[in-house]
Amino acid sequence: MKIGFIGLGHLGRAIAKRLADQGVQLIVWNRTKEKALEFAKETDSEVAESPAELASKVERIFVIVFDSQASEKVIFGENGLTSGDIKGKTIVDMTTNHFSYAKLAYEELKKLGAFYLDAPVLGSVIPAQRGELTVVVGGDKEKFEENKPIFEKFCKNIFYVGPAGKATKVKLINNIVLGGIMDVLAEAIAIGERTGIDKEELIEILNAGAGKSYILDVKKKKLLEEDFSTHFSVDLIYKDLHYAQDLIKDLGIFSFTTSAIKETYGLARKLGLGELDFSVVYKLFKE
């Protein structure tokens, strides 16, 4: 099995490496070519010179980039996937996109005789390495079924939710919760330390009480060691919450909570912490 893979950031690289380890032959492209060459050397993968070239060599392409602007450039831009032989092929977009873009991408690719799966993933680097991500998929059910065996190689939970765009809405709602839990945990731990409670002991107690969560499990080590090397960046959660606010506005409702959570990460960005793991918001409250 040979597939295309575009986007070798922190999460993308972890997913691609997992696929390679599972015996999937990859042709990769990355905006920074050095990353692609390094990955190819490590995994015996092939490097394409452009998305257009990649599209001409495979029947399906997995994409995971920073935002909808990057996705649009990779798919529809100059030397993008649609500049190559795209007819009859499937693009699986795992980017956390803007909900309106995901629907538009599906419609535009359909006009070109191609297929688009809106397939954002829930989870970060560690679950990707373990094959324990969750993926939420929207688009043609037939194409979802065709690609399900690939999802199974790096995902523990796989959900098909219907039309393209709906999966992205689910992901944005999930990330309101994700950003909120991390924000609350960071603040609570910092408050606890100010009262003189040992941080390790406090985390253990929280994990046995109201703070028990997947987020605390995977971020415990980072919070204890204050190693905020990036698994999922402040910049990414801020972008996702901005898209979530657009969804809330589109629905004609309101959410004070989402706005407050977003601005916590906005402050972290203003202080130069945007490229670090989003658990770094702990430092805002500690300091």
What CA–CA distance (Å, rounded) separates 65 from 93?
9
Instruction: Determine the Cα–Cα distance for residues 65 and 92; give it in Å rounded to an integer.
Output: 12
pLDDT in tens, 152-201: 999 999 999 999 999 999 999 999 999 999 999 999 999 999 999 999 99
At 266, is the pLDDT very low, low, confident or very high (cuts 50, 70, 90)? very high
**Which has the closest alpha carbon to 117: 73, 175, 158, 69?**
158
Output phi, psi for 37, to 5 deg. Answer: -65, -40
Give the CA radius of gyration of the chain: 19
pLDDT tens digits for 198-252? 999 999 999 999 999 999 999 999 999 999 999 999 999 999 999 999 999 999 9
Helix (H, G, I), strand (E, B) or coil at 91: strand
**Whether residue 287 has pLDDT greater than 90:** no
Give this prediction's pTM.
0.95
Domains of the chain plus CATH, in order, are 2-162 (3.40.50.720), 169-286 (1.10.1040.10)
In sequence order, which residues have a C-beta less than 8 Å from that of residue 198 and are 6 or more positions away? none
